Amino acid sequence: MKFSNNYIFYPDNNELVKAIDHYKNLVKDQGAVDDAPDSSIAIQDNFLHTRGNFEQHHFSTRLLESAKAALESVLTELDRDQSPLEWASVQNSLGNILAALGQQRMDDALYESAIAAFNNALEEFTQEGSPSEWATAKFNLGTATQALGRQQTDVKLLKTSIDAYTDALLVWTREQVPDEWATTLFQLGVSFYEHGRLLKGNRTFQKSVVAFKNALTGFDADNHALALAATHNSRGVVLHNLAESEENTERLQEAIRSYDAALTICMEQQQPFHLAVLCRVNKSTARIVLAELTQDPVLAEEAADDFELIIECFPHALQPLCLKHSEEQLVKARSMTESFA
C-alpha cells in the first residue's frame, strides 16, 4: 500500500527550553549568554515546526554548542555517588541539547548520545523515588527515540518510543499535570503513526487516532493554539492514511474535517502562515483520494482548483518538496477530472 504524501508539524518542545534554562542557570555567573536566534535558521520561516520535535528557532547553534560543552564539563566535575539526582538532572538536560543538535545536523550519532544520556538519567530517577523526574526523562527518551526511529525508519526504536511515552503516562495524569499529559498523548500519537506506516498496520493507526483524540481534550485554542492545530492536523494525517489502507470514504471525510479544524485554528489564532498552507495541502490531497475512490469528477476538479490556487498564491509558504507534491497533485486531479467526466 502506497500512502499519500502528507505533512505533520510539531508544537514547541518545552523540555528543550527547560534544558537551555538549566544551562543558563549553571553559567549565569560566568558572563553573558548568546541566546539570539540563529539567523541561518530564523530566515527559513516556512520550515518552523516542521523539521521535528527539537525545533530550535529560538536558540542559536552557538548557544546549543556552548550548552553541550558546559553540561559535559559539569558532568566531569560532579560526583555521581554524592549527588546522584543532580547528576541525572544534568544528563537529562544534556540529552535534549544533543538531540536538538542531532536534528539540526540529521546526525544519528548525536541522537544516540542523547538517548544514552536519557538512559543514564533513568538509572538514578525512579518511578517510586522521583516520579516527576522519572516521567520527564521517560518522555524525553520517547521523543529522542521517535526522532531517530523516524530518521532511520527503525521499527524497534519507534516501539521503544511508544513504551517510553506509555511509561510517562503512568505518572503524568490529566488531573495532576494536564499540559504534560496532553503533550505526551500527542507524541504517543506521532510514534504510533510512524510505527504504523512502517508496519502498514491499521491497528497501530487506530491507536494513533485514539491518542490524538484524547490529546485534543487537553488543549484549547487560547492557551495551546499551536499544539491544538498540530493535533487536529496529525489526526487528519493518520485518518487519511488509514482511509487509504481501508479504502474507506467515511474516514477520508473525517480526515478532511480534521484538516479543516487545524486550518481554522492556524488562521484564527495567527499561527505561522506556512502551517495553514500545509493543512490546506493535506486537505486537498485527501480530497483527491476521495475523488478517486468515488470516481467523482466534480470533486476532482475542485481539488485541482485548490492546488492551482495554492501554487499560484502561496509558493513562498511551501517547502520545495511540498511544492513539487502540489504540482504533481494538480496534474493528477486534472487527469482524473477528464477520465471521470
Measure the CA–CA gap between 90 and 78, rounded to whole angstroms: 10
First-last CA distance in the chain: 27
pTM of the model: 0.94
Measure the CA–CA gap between 147 and 128, rounded to whole angstroms: 28
Within 13 Å and on the Cβ side, how many CA atoms surround 118? Answer: 28
Domains of the chain: residue spans and CATH: 1-176 (1.25.40), 219-341 (1.25.40.10)
* Residue-by-residue DSSP string for 62-95: HHHHHHHHHHHHHHHHS-TTT-HHHHHHHHHHHH
Q: Are 129 and 174 in contact (CB under 8 A)?
A: no
Which residue, chain included where needed, has cell 490556487?
Answer: 309
Measure the CA–CA gap between 162 and 155, rounded to whole angstroms: 11
- pLDDT score for 31: 60
Amino acid at 194: E
Cell numbers linked to 242: 488509514
Measure the CA–CA gap between 228 and 117, rounded to whole angstroms: 30
Per-residue pLDDT of the chain (341 residues; tens, 9 = 90+): 689 999 999 999 999 999 999 999 998 866 656 555 554 444 457 788 998 999 866 677 889 999 999 999 999 999 999 999 999 999 999 999 999 999 999 999 999 999 999 999 999 999 999 999 999 999 999 999 999 999 999 999 999 999 999 999 999 999 999 999 999 999 999 999 999 999 988 999 999 999 999 999 999 999 999 999 999 999 999 999 999 999 999 999 999 999 999 999 999 999 999 999 999 999 999 999 999 999 999 999 999 999 999 999 999 999 999 999 999 999 999 999 999 98
Dihedral (CA of 137, 142, 146, 149) sign: positive
Amino acid at 276: A
- For 75, other C-beta atoms within 10 Å of its C-beta total 15
CB under 8 Å to 84, separation ≥6 — which residues? 124
Which residue, chain included where needed, has cell 555521581?
Answer: 80
Which residue, chain included where needed, has cell 485541482?
Answer: 304
- pLDDT score for 105: 93
3-state class (DSSP) for residue 38:
coil
Which residue, chain included where needed, has cell 509558504?
Answer: 317
Residue 92, CA distances (Å) to 70, 311, 319 in order: 14, 43, 33
Dihedral (CA of 258, 263, 268, 274) sign: positive
CB under 8 Å to 151, separation ≥6 — which residues? 106, 108, 111
Which residue, chain included where needed, has cell 538509572?
Answer: 123
Q: Which residue pairs, CB below 8 angstroms and at least 24 apart, start in 262-268?
A: 262/229, 262/230, 262/232, 262/233, 262/236, 265/221, 265/225, 265/228, 265/229, 265/232, 266/229, 268/221
- pLDDT score for 141: 98
- pLDDT score for 224: 97
- The tens digit of pLDDT for each residue in 99-121 reads 999 999 999 999 999 999 999 99
Measure the CA–CA gap between 104 and 109, rounded to whole angstroms: 12
